[in-house]
Structure 1
Amino acid sequence: MKVVKASILILLWCSQLICFSAGDPVLQSYEKLPDGLILKIKPAEKGQAQVVKLRVISDNIIQVVSTPQASLSEEESLIVINNEGSTDWQFADDKNTLEINTKTLNVKVSAATGQVSFYDKKGKKLLGELKETNTQGGNYKFVKYFSTDDSEAFYGLGQHQEGIMNYKGYQVDLTQYNSTAVVPFVVSNKSYGILWDNYSITKFGDIRPYKPLSSFQLYDNEGEKGGLTATYGYQNNSKPHVVKSENEIDYEFLSSLSNMPEGYDMSNGKIVWEGKIESDQTGKHTFLMPAAGYVKIWIDGELLLDKWREAWNPGFNIFRKELKAGTKTDIKIEWIPDGGQSFIALRYLPPVAKEMSDKFAFASEGGEQMSYYFVHGEDLDEVISGYRQLTGSAQIMPKWAMGFWQSRERYKTQEEIMTTIKEFRKRHIPIDNIVLDWSYWKQDEWGSQEFDASRFPDPEGMIKSLHDDYNAHFMISVWPKFYEGIDNYKMLNDKGLLYTQNIKNRERDWIGEGYVSTFYDAYNPDARQYFWGLLDKHLFSKGVDAWWLDATEPDILSNSSIEHRKTLMNPTFLGSATDYFNAYSVMNAKGIYEGQRAEAPNQRVFILTRSAFAGLQHYGAATWSGDISGRFDELERQIPAGLNFSLSGLPYWTTDIGGFFVENKYDRPEPKGEALEEWRELNTRWYQYGTFTPLYRSHGQFPYREVFNIAPEDHAAYKSIVYYNKLRYRLMPYIYSLTGQVYHQDYTIMRALVMDFPEGKEVAEIGNQFMFGPALLINPITEYKATTREVYLPKSAGWYDLYSGKFIKGGQHISADAPYERMPIYVKAGSIIPFGPEIEYTTQKPADEITLYVYQGADGEFELYEDENVNYNYEKGKFSTITFKYNEANKSLTIGESKGQFEGMLTERTFKVVPVSQSKAQPLNFNAQPQHTVKYTGKAVTLKLN
């Protein structure tokens, strides 16, 4: 090891005319470690780093750790499970810069400041830290700025539903909410990622604090300074309750609703704020509005927002507007709360200062020290692979989970569940999983994990019948919530495994007259073990197949302020709620995953959780997008939300097809006339999209969500929904092969165009199209009565219309037909797609006959993957693959040798080969005459295609 004392270094540097002023940081010493470097620096300002450490994890992954304390903490990460450093690297010291060199990276560290810069082997700068400063970061504990440029785009960071694809220039709030899932991993189109190893509330990007509305100069309707004219009226246009001047709109949380005018009835309310705003800066202003109910906003006469969200679950909206300094600009906000308690607020960010326009940052409220991992790759797949190398692989989901799930809020009795599954089988509509949502327990026994016997007289028999008689699986909703006084509460409370503050506050929930409750502390390993024990005893032992983990933000008291939410989970077993606020969901999932694998080691765990965090993919878990509204504009926002979630390294994601909560026109008491037809079309378009998300499930409140309750058999909605359901099952060989790649090659199923088509700005902002695997370009319809949409066909050898087989050149925007029954789907030239037999559940019969559609025009390859479907034997090498290769030059298809083996695998099968070419369009038709029929016995076969 090499230690260089500060006096020697300073003398050496001064002899080279590299001396530092008294205000600059000064290196005291550095030490070369087997896996990296550690630098000790005398900071110029209090709060800056005294110690900086770099560790080489692999050729393409570097960890950077720093602390303003005198020494680093040895605390283990909650999310990084593979932290072993590498010894295969080289070191260089050119006096003022220390260098780490791996096979793919050159990392330079300023000896004076500890600032780190990352370069590829060609010398191209990928990322560079900037001088430490907290002036732009508010009261954050850790802030780290990085440089960027106009060509860069940022993705990932979990699931956010403002409708934004590229986060460059925006602030991303990494705070867990219902419908916001936080993953502190960002990827750049420059093929690197940053895993920010911190569990506290964090901001990414433009981290400046949002300003309140009062920071504008405000004018009311009469031109008086000081506020907007606020009219608290009613929807029936009766005399307003009150008209007054207001300079803030801040009804964001339960605590702020007390500021409503006394005696005002929100349930029938209509509030209008209007007047003028005047900024002291010229440029693009960014507005943030958390809102529920109906809201419209006009600035300078332009309608910038027209949205509805259920009153009890506000969503975030971001919009931008150019303003001119010193110019009065008209503003009008119209809000119909649409509920007895509803929420709204408005704040903004002024234009970014010129000196900050080429910077982005991470800023966190808490933590022991600053730690992040820089991950590089040749493409974004390699970057995501690096993330999973750190945080754990994503398992292969049980095959049944890739089929269709039916759910609703909620099946209230055993009879309703059985009647539903019987109807699916009677109609021959494919289904693999039926889901029981919350409140299957007695009303006053939330947390008992026991069925109410009056409504579910024989749950064990019900589950057995689902398995044996109907070939269906059963998932159940499980909350980390316990009512005060029930047996499970007493047991956990006696052991100190519950959060206690909500009990002390006597806060009541929304059931009946309300019950006092709290959550268990998932950060406590004993609490996780006991929680699993309850699930095992009362549910898993009865045959439950999978777990639906709700409210895992944790949502102990909905719509509480963030500070109040912290008090409700404070302290955690590991430390303060400030330090550990965001990671609850991954700890909760970890306990169930580890518990079930110990109890049933060869049954694949399946978890669906409402919240997410880095590392969740390692625990057999997927995420859904929360309690979203049933509207076309909400459907539109799901697409970039899901794509960014996938780019965060978590491959399994889904939405409530149809949206969870609906407007009154759909459910009071049920839709009729135009509302009914709009409801049917909304579901049709959502089912079309949902067919090509990683997990395919319908869920929501009334109206009932089963296809036969949406429309009759002769209706276009019914026909379309069933068509895509059956297409999903025909595609099962393709889809299950992708799940195999998720584990074996760290693949991503639902793929933003930026992953596969490095075309710069042309694809950087596209968030309403995506690739489903390597072959299928999916283009959802998100407007009512739309029959066309614009589609960008990326540059490639060309594209084929899936339905007609018609060829279209790439590198162009087209107007694609989108009749009610169909969503535009295109197949990339060079694709090989295996279609299986028609089935009604995923394992009804083996894929002994596969139709291979070969889309000519470019070389192509696809690997068919198979294993035992429901166990972990694939981790022991028990799986098989068959590689298909198409050669465009000689128009030949090779069906490769079968490799690998597992119990029950097919030794013989039939492949029917259907080529599709530019000169010969071949519609998708499973009854079409194949060009070749191959009796395959595991040996390689090469075919000439016409």
Structure 2
Amino acid sequence: MKFQVKTILFIVVASFFMTTNLCAQTIQQTTNGLNFSAQEMDIKIEFYAEHTVRVYKTPKGKPYQKNSLSVVGIPKKTQLTYLTKGDRTIVKSNAVQVEVNVETGGISFYDIAGNKLLKDKDYGTQFSPINDAGTPSYKVRNGFLLDKDEAIYGVGQVLDNKFNRRNSSHHMQNENMSTYSPYFLSVKGYAVFWDNYSISQFNDNPQELSFEGLGHCSDYYFMYGQNADGVISKVRELTGKAPMLPLWAYGFFQSKERYHNQDESLNVLKKYRDLRVPLDVVIQDWRYWPEYNKSDSAWNSQSFDKERFPDPKKWVDEIHKLNAKLLIVTWPGFGPHTAQRKEFDEKKMIINFDTWPPNSGARPYDVFNPKALDIYWRYLNKGIFNYIGNDGWWLDSTEPDHINFKPSDFDLPTYLGSYRSVKNGYSLMHNKGIATNQRAVNDKKRGVILTRSGFIGQQLYGSNTWSGDVNSTWEMLEKQIPAALNYTLMGIPNWNSDIGGFFAGRWRKDGGNKNPEFQELYVRWMQFGAFSPMMRSHGTDLPREIWNFGDRGSWCFDAQEKFIKLRYSLLPYIYSTSWDVSNNHGTFMRPLIMDFVDDKKTHEIGNEYLFGRSILVAPVTKYKTNQWPVYLPKGSKWYNFWTDEYVEGGQTIHTNAPIDVVPLYIKAGSIIPIGPDVQYSTEKKWDNLTIRIYVGADGEFSLYEDENDNYNYEKGIYSIIKFKWDDTKKILTIEDREGSFPTMLKSRKFNFTLIGGNKSAMGNKLKKSATLLYTGKNTKLKF
């Protein structure tokens, strides 16, 4: 009661004058937070929304105007209450309260009930003056205090086979196979994004968690979402929502390093069609451009060699006639023999270090210069996009590669300062330039970008990051899974890897593609790829097209075909998940902590995940394994996808996993649509879907459909059919169809299958089925 009185008194006084004196320190109340000075710093607390707080610190008396590369959200008007509590000042929204100590500079974050979430340490921020390539700057460090047993995730794609990032240290420098952002997410339902693009250091030990980098400010965003889904929604509200990719982007991609001419890739596509193995995309890797004097001086000229690609427009037209799409590679570096390089050199828009390939003289352009982004696109559009009408981009080396490295290279100037001060934002800006310029010239085709690096905010540009040029080993396959899960917990939903691993030369002995261990590794990796946001086969040393592993009827061919076809049968589920990702800030690859955080065993499990909200995937990552341990989280009942066997959650089981089976378990209450047998994603309409209902809990699913490849969905041109399962009454409700689009099915057949079991009859299956002609009107079915 005394505290409430003091609160009221403070508000009355604050209405009379806007500052109060505590411990000889001055706090200024603002419309969206607080300003104060402590420990020779000026500190600004700014509520961006009820759940999101920006903390901005600069050396005292040295203001700095920060322009974020990642943050696109703007502060929303937020109702705040200002309180005093002894020598502390508190500002609170309806979701978060922030307590500041104006003597020590400490900042504590609490939920609305008063439970402490995070402490920005007393005396925990330092600005150490440093000379950055001739410009006065600072080494900036910000420390935080976490609970002793608090698990955290994020930080980036780190290939160390670890999931929980506690007690780890990382040199945050984006390179091939290493993709970092200064961010962590806690099991307590909050995250911190330290908005800094310099080469940085993340360190967590029992004393503190800290970020350290280069800059003129310490600028971070505290986001409280109550759970991981809530956090990711706040990340995307701050840094950009993820657009929908076209339906074809969820089909199967075939690539290699490299197809040497236009006939080679076209013949690969024709052979897939002849074999009737589904395929949606072929990718053209490097050196399709002229090779002057057989050197790389014309590297990345964004033009076509006339001998090997005599009619590139016809080439792409033929690909399209076969109902497939083309992605084509483009790099950030240019050889000295290119027109792009000459223009960039003239306008001082080159960062003068050597990039890939070695000894070519290729150098990267300055992505931090807005005019350079436009120039890059002008050449790319004229030489490729507007010329041949390709369907997407493969942006390789977006860190970028650094050849003949010298420490002084980090001193090189960019439009925004030294290269070291902005390096980690390179991929973000490169992707932004291409995505935004493409949309400006053609908004009828959704942007699709495959990129080798990333940074928070890159989800806004339709980018799908792959894990880099990884080795073809069992150990590397195992490392992909927790790396992917930590990456997606940063709010970037699209991720993939080279199926089979990129460097496969070690398998050339004993048969290459016919080497039994490589075949098994490739199939296991493909099983993982089938449950990744992009399913893409690629690599060097050994070709990866399906027929190179044997003929139909051989176990390796058949196992691959099985999972490619499984991927296509799940397209209605995957595309609906894509809508959930875009519209509801959802996630494709969901670590178990997202749905089962109360089960503490999930806090350390990074080798299995939910794909969408229903399918638990436990990829096999060991050679000659016929059984695989799978932890099924408590709080749900589960069904073996292959056998329909019913299992209670909260236990580890050892399930059969022969080479053509990956452990998949379906959460009770799930409703999963199964699509038709097709050779490409849009071959058949979804007019005769099988709908599987896994009993044991209430559930719902929204079947999403649109025109498949344009931005009309942003204007509301799409349809949703909601299915709701009442497990007690055994009633399925198919609600009135919401929305419409010109090519929408007016009626269709749904074939329902109930899959069920119970505790007293563990393993027994009860199936019931029904068929319904659905015309868009609310319908109930009782089973």
Q: Any idea what the Cα deviations from partners look like across 1:452-503, whole Å, max 9, x if unmatched? A: 11111111100011002x100000010011111332211221122212354x
Kindly indicate whether the alpha-carbon contact (under 8 Å) linking 2:646 and 2:764 is maintained by their aligned counterparts in 1.
no
Unaligned runs of at least 5 residues, structure 1: 14-25, 44-48, 207-355
SS of 1:671's partner is: helix
Equivalent-residue separation in structure 2 for 1:602 and 1:406 (angstroms) = 25
Q: Any idea what the Cα deviations from partners look like across 1:879-899, whole Å, max 9, x if unmatched? A: 111111111111111111100
**Partner of residue 479 from structure 2, selected from 637, 649, 656:** 637
Worse-matched range after superposition: 768-777 or 179-188? 179-188
Structure 2 residue aligned with 1:743 = 582
Structure 1 residue aligned with 2:508 = 667
Deviation at 1:69, TM superposition (A): 3.7
Deviation at 1:565, TM superposition (A): 4.7
Matched, 1:88 2:86: no
Counterpart residue identity of residue 473, structure 1: K
Equivalent-residue separation in structure 2 for 1:650 and 1:150 (angstroms) = 28
Matched, 1:532 2:377: yes
The within-5 A match list for 1:338-417 is 357-364=206-213, 366-417=214-265
SS of 1:581's partner is: helix
SS of 2:265's partner is: helix
Deviation at 1:943, TM superposition (A): 0.8
Structure 1 residue aligned with 2:360 = 515
Counterpart residue identity of residue 72, structure 1: P
Deviation at 1:113, TM superposition (A): 2.5
The within-5 A match list for 1:713-732 is 713-732=552-571
Structure 2 length-normalised TM = 0.93
Equivalent-residue separation in structure 2 for 1:820 and 1:564 (angstroms) = 51
**Partner of residue 918 from structure 1, selected from 757, 762, 767:** 757
Matched, 1:9 2:21: yes
Structure 1 residue aligned with 2:28 = 31
Structure 2 residue aligned with 1:265 = none
Kindly indicate whether the alpha-carbon contact (under 8 Å) linking 2:626 and 2:656 is maintained by their aligned counterparts in 1.
yes
Structure 1 residue aligned with 2:157 = 159
Matched, 1:549 2:387: no
The within-5 A match list for 1:264-663 is 357-364=206-213, 366-443=214-291, 444-468=297-321, 470-502=322-354, 509-510=357-358, 514-541=359-386, 542-557=388-403, 560=405, 563-567=407-411, 570-663=412-505
Matched, 1:115 2:115: no
Deviation at 1:742, TM superposition (A): 0.9
The within-5 A match list for 1:756-905 is 756-905=595-744
Cα RMSD after superposing both structures: 2.3
Equivalent-residue separation in structure 2 for 1:922 and 1:900 (angstroms) = 41
Matched, 1:936 2:774: yes
Kindly indicate whether the alpha-carbon contact (under 8 Å) linking 1:55 and 1:85 is maintained by their aligned counterparts in 2.
no
Equivalent-residue separation in structure 2 for 1:556 and 1:584 (angstroms) = 13
Counterpart residue identity of residue 38, structure 1: N
Equivalent-residue separation in structure 2 for 1:711 and 1:565 (angstroms) = 48
| Greater helix fraction, Structure 1 or Structure 2 | 2
Equivalent-residue separation in structure 1 for 2:698 and 2:228 (angstroms) = 22
SS of 1:539's partner is: helix
Structure 2 residue aligned with 1:252 = none
SS of 1:588's partner is: helix
Equivalent-residue separation in structure 1 for 2:341 and 2:723 (angstroms) = 56
Structure 2 residue aligned with 1:256 = none
SS of 1:30's partner is: strand
Matched, 1:67 2:58: yes
Counterpart residue identity of residue 777, structure 2: K
Q: Any idea what the Cα deviations from partners look like across 1:602-648, whole Å, max 9, x if unmatched? A: 21111111010110000121100000000111000000011111111
Equivalent-residue separation in structure 2 for 1:786 and 1:729 (angstroms) = 26
Q: Among all aligned residue pairs of Structure 1 and Structure 2, give the percentage whose two residues are the same amino acid.
A: 38
Structure 2 residue aligned with 1:216 = none
Question: 1:100/1:931 Cα in 2 relative to 1: closer, same or farther (>3 Å)?
Answer: same
Question: 1:76/1:498 Cα in 2 relative to 1: closer, same or farther (>3 Å)?
Answer: same
Kindly indicate whether the alpha-carbon contact (under 8 Å) linking 1:151 and 1:761 is maintained by their aligned counterparts in 2.
no
Matched, 1:57 2:48: yes
Equivalent-residue separation in structure 2 for 1:501 and 1:552 (angstroms) = 14
SS of 1:741's partner is: helix
Unaligned runs of at least 5 residues, structure 2: 1-13, 131-137, 292-296
The within-5 A match list for 1:220-259 is none
Counterpart residue identity of residue 671, structure 1: G
Kindly indicate whether the alpha-carbon contact (under 8 Å) linking 1:547 and 1:608 is maintained by their aligned counterparts in 2.
yes
Deviation at 1:692, TM superposition (A): 0.1
Q: Any idea what the Cα deviations from partners look like across 1:297-351, whole Å, max 9, x if unmatched? A: xxxxxxxxxxxxxxxxxxxxxxxxxxxxxxxxxxxxxxxxxxxxxxxxxxxxxxx
Counterpart residue identity of residue 390, structure 2: V
Equivalent-residue separation in structure 2 for 1:677 and 1:923 (angstroms) = 37
Kindly indicate whether the alpha-carbon contact (under 8 Å) linking 1:670 and 1:703 is maintained by their aligned counterparts in 2.
no
SS of 2:689's partner is: strand
Deviation at 1:121, TM superposition (A): 1.4
Deviation at 1:111, TM superposition (A): 2.4
Structure 2 residue aligned with 1:907 = 746
Question: 1:649/1:923 Cα in 2 relative to 1: closer, same or farther (>3 Å)?
Answer: farther
Q: Any idea what the Cα deviations from partners look like across 1:86-105, whole Å, max 9, x if unmatched? A: 23222223452111111111
Question: 1:729/1:922 Cα in 2 relative to 1: closer, same or farther (>3 Å)?
Answer: farther
Structure 1 length-normalised TM = 0.77
Equivalent-residue separation in structure 2 for 1:741 and 1:103 (angstroms) = 26
Structure 1 residue aligned with 2:134 = none
Kindly indicate whether the alpha-carbon contact (under 8 Å) linking 1:804 and 1:922 is maintained by their aligned counterparts in 2.
no
Kindly indicate whether the alpha-carbon contact (under 8 Å) linking 2:703 and 2:721 is maintained by their aligned counterparts in 1.
yes
Equivalent-residue separation in structure 1 for 2:353 and 2:174 (angstroms) = 19
Structure 1 residue aligned with 2:89 = 98
Structure 2 residue aligned with 1:223 = none
Kindly indicate whether the alpha-carbon contact (under 8 Å) linking 2:549 and 2:557 is maintained by their aligned counterparts in 1.
yes
